[in-house]
């Protein structure tokens, strides 16, 4: 697979110091040998060289004034990666770790994820190294307004439609949308994940977490099993984790963990979802406060995590749902999970497992749903929000949820079928990468060298 090595070497020269981006590229390209090495079609079209280069990358200064009157400066990004299948679509992440590498890895993943949904959406991602933690509402609003003062000229309902990601939820989308409307004078579907009061879609808030659990259910169906009674480990305590936990309960499973940037909660009786929502959605506090209601639960602070991994994956369970952030599940974590009897991993977060961990899951033959397939329910429901906005309709919860289930089922079927067709039955990493790639690459070729 010399093309993988050659591509990464060339990216290391043209886009230095972007390790997360190289990791995402390597993951996709390593799966493509069955279609790249058997014929010269894609090679002649220089499709790999084209697909790893974003169509456009916007980087900008975001100056704002904090509550003490001090001027703060952050960096803003929007990477418009690929528009072969539709307008650029993907979230905005506000987190101090954000840099060009993180936004490019997320944008690159988004291309293939969006292709897998079968819907007409291209791939993009954006964000800022702004840290929303501990900021007042006024500070969040002024930051969002300044961010939009530059971003508004690059986005629009048929060009580029951002949404949320880490650190960006309905509150931030509200401030961003308000400023877009003020600058352009246009009330249009330029964002998804909007409030239900003004253009949002039912189920969008729940969609990523629910979708990840639906995907797990389809993987288990295929193996003649179900989620009923399964003990599940969930990481994260944000939007994706909370609604994964909600759906796990609805399907008869028992989620026993959650985690945040301060530590991990283990509650063998099952996580109290109502309390979790209050702590993280309303009070926005750290997870240690869970112990005030449940002193019998265990809290492991980050400082006490194993050196080579994450406390959350060291408990024994039937299934694991990484829903926090990239590279949060290491090779050692994967080894422990498998040793402790874990039979399924469904990824709510983007690229949560390291390459070493993924290799272990594949070789152990457990049901492994890679992020670009398993967490596509969020962006798919975003597209349903766009469809409702442009037709001026509002669908019921049931209608949107039925669409979401069907989309997750179709993603499982296309990834699974591709894995059979290309000789590695059940390897959904290979299947999802090939199915997503083919759809984008073929569309790019039909649209010429642009």
Query: Would you put residue 167 in left (φ > 0), alpha (ψ -120 to 50) or beta?
Result: left
**Minimum distance of ligand 2IT from residue 75's CB (angstroms):** 19
Q: Measured from the CB atom, is 76 or 263 closer to ligand 2IT?
A: 76
The CA distance from 140 to 95, in Å, is 13
Contact call for residue 233 and ligand NDP (CB under 6 A): no
380 binds ligand NDP (CB under 6 A): no
Whether 125 is catalytic: yes
How far is C-alpha 51 from the chain's CA centre?
Answer: 20
By the rule CB under 6 A, 90 interacts with ligand 2IT:
yes
Residues in region 261-320 near ligand NDP by CB under 6 A = 261-262, 280
- CB under 8 Å to 299, separation ≥6 — which residues? 263, 264, 265, 287, 288, 290, 291
Please tell me whether residue 78 binds ligand 2IT under the rule CB under 6 A: no
Q: State the sign of the Cα–Cα–Cα–Cα dihedral 111, 219, 22, 107.
A: positive
| Binding residue (CB under 6 A) for ligand 2IT from 62, 140, 163, 404 | 163
* Choice from 118, 199, 236, 436 touching ligand NDP (CB under 6 A): 236
Long-range own/partner contacts, residues 403-406 (CB < 8 A, 24 or more apart): 404/203, 404/207, 404/210, 404/211, 404/214, 404/377, 404/380, 405/214
* Total interface residues for ligand NDP by CB under 6 A: 23
Q: Both tokens of residue 53?
A: 């280069």
Give the residue among 201, 113, 26 at the shortest CA–CA distance from 411: 113
DSSP string computed for 261-317: SSEEEE-TT---HHHHHIIIIIS---GGGHHHH-TTSEEEEGGGS-TTS-GGGGS--
Distance CA 278, CA 416 (A): 38
Please choose, out of 36-44, 68-76, 215-223, 374-382, the segment that lies near ligand 2IT by the rule CB under 6 A. Answer: 374-382
Among 388, 440, 330, smallest CA distance to 199 is for 388
CB-wise, 403 or 444, nearer to ligand NDP? 403
**Which of 124, 164, 189, 263 touches ligand NDP by CB under 6 A?**
164
Q: Which is nearer to ligand NDP, 167 or 426 (CB)?
A: 167
| Token pair recorded at residue 205 | 């808030």
User: Counting contacts by CB under 6 A, is residue 350 touching ligand NDP?
Assistant: yes
Residues with Cβ within 8 Å of 274's Cβ and at least 6 positions away in sequence, in order, are: none
| Strands 122-128 vs 160-163: parallel, antiparallel or unpaired | unpaired
Site for ligand 2IT (CB under 6 A): which residue of 18, 57, 117, 350?
350
Residue 54 interface partner, choices ligand NDP, ligand 2IT, none, CB cut-off 5-8 Å depending on type:
none
Question: What does 123 interact with, of ligand 2IT, ligand NDP, none (CB < 5 to 8 A by kind)?
Answer: none
Structure tokens that stand for 95 in this block: 């987190």
Q: Which residue is catalytic, options 89, 104, 113, 125?
A: 125
By CB under 6 A, residue 126 contacts ligand NDP? no
Nearer to ligand NDP, 33 or 327 (CB): 327
Residue 117 vs 419, nearer CB to ligand NDP: 117
Helix (H, G, I), strand (E, B) or coil at 235: coil
| 382 binding ligand 2IT? (CB under 6 A) | yes
Q: Which is nearer to ligand NDP, 324 or 444 (CB)?
A: 324
- DSSP reduced 3-state for 140: helix
Among 127, 378, 426, 431, binds ligand 2IT (CB under 6 A): 378
Of the pair 36, 79, the CB lying nearest ligand 2IT is at 79
Task: Look at residue 260 and give the partner it binds from ligand 2IT, ligand NDP, none, a contact being a CB closer than 5 to 8 Å depending on partner kind.
Answer: ligand NDP
Q: Could you tell me which residues are beta bridge partners of residue 75? A: 61
- Residues serving a catalytic function are 125
For ligand 2IT, the binding residues (CB under 6 A) are 89-91, 110, 113, 163, 165, 192, 350, 378-379, 382
For ligand NDP, the binding residues (CB under 6 A) are 164-167, 208, 236-241, 260-262, 280, 323-325, 348-350, 375, 378
């Amino acid at each position: 697979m010399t093309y993988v090595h050659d591509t990464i070497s060339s990216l290391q020269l043209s886009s230095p110091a972007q390790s997360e981006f190289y990791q995402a590229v390597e993951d996709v390209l390593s799966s493509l040998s069955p279609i790249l090495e058997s014929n010269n079609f894609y090679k002649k079209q220089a499709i790999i060289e084209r697909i790893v280069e974003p169509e456009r990358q916007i980087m900008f200064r975001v100056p704002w004034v904090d509550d003490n009157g001090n001027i703060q400066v952050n960096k803003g990004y929007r990477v418009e990666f690929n528009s072969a299948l539709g307008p650029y679509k993907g979230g905005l992440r506000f987190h101090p770790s954000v840099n060009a590498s993180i936004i490019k890895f997320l944008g690159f993943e988004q291309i293939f994820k969006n292709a897998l949904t079968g819907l007409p959406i291209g791939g993009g991602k954006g964000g800022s190294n702004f840290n929303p933690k501990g900021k007042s509402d006024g500070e969040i609003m002024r930051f969002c307004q300044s961010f939009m003062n530059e971003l508004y000229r690059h986005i629009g309902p048929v060009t580029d439609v951002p949404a949320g990601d880490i650190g960006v939820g309905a509150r931030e989308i509200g401030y961003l949308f308000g400023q877009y409307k003020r600058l352009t004078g246009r009330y249009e579907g330029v964002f998804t994940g909007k409030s239900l009061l003004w253009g949002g879609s039912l189920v969008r808030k729940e969609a990523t977490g629910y979708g990840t659990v639906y995907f797990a259910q389809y993987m288990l169906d295929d193996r003649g099993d179900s989620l009923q009674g399964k003990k599940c480990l969930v990481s994260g305590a944000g939007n994706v984790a909370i609604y994964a936990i909600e759906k796990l309960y609805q399907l008869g499973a028992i989620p026993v963990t959650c985690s945040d940037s301060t530590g991990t909660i283990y509650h063998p009786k099952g996580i109290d979802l109502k309390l979790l929502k209050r702590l993280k959605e309303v009070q926005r506090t750290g997870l240690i406060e869970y112990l005030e209601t449940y002193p019998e639960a265990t809290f492991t602070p980050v400082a006490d995590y194993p050196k080579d991994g994450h406390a959350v994956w060291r408990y024994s369970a039937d299934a694991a749902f990484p829903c926090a952030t990239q590279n949060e599940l290491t090779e050692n974590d994967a080894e422990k999970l498998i040793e402790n009897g874990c039979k399924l991993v469904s990824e709510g977060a983007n690229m949560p497992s390291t390459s070493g961990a993924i290799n272990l899951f594949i070789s152990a033959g457990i049901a492994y749903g890679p992020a670009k397939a398993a967490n596509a329910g969020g962006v798919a429901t975003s597209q349903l929000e766009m469809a409702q906005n442009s037709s001026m309709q509002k669908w019921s919860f049931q209608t949107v949820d039925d669409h979401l289930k069907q989309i997750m089922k179709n993603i499982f079927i296309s990834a699974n079928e591709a894995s059979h067709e290309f000789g590695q039955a059940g390897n959904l990493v290979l299947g999802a990468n090939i199915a997503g790639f083919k759809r984008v690459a073929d569309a790019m070729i039909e649209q010429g060298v642009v």
